[in-house]
Amino acid sequence: MSVYDFKVKTMEGSEKSLSDYSGKVLLIVNTATECGFTPQYADLQAIYEAHGEKGLEILDFPCNQFGEQAPGADEEIHTFCTGRFGVTYPQFSKIEVNGSQAIPLYQYLVKQKGFAGFDPAHKITSILEGILEKSHPDYKNEPDIKWNFTKFLVDRQGNVVERFEPTADMKLVEEKVKELL
The active-site residue, picked from 26, 28, 29, 35, is 35
CATH for 71: 3.40.30.10
Give CA–CA dist 27/162, Å, rounded: 10
Split into its structural domains, the chain has a count of 1
**pLDDT in 10s for each residue of the chain, 181 residues:** 999 999 999 999 999 999 999 999 999 999 999 888 999 999 999 999 999 999 999 999 999 999 888 888 889 999 999 999 999 999 999 999 999 999 999 999 999 999 999 999 999 999 999 999 998 899 999 999 999 999 999 999 999 999 999 999 999 999 999 999 9
Q: What is the pLDDT of residue 91?
A: 96
Q: What is the pLDDT of residue 72?
A: 87
Residue 35 is among the residues annotated as catalytic for this protein: yes
Instruction: Note down the domain range covering 13.
Output: 3-180
Q: What is the pLDDT of residue 174?
A: 98
**pTM for the structure as a whole:** 0.96
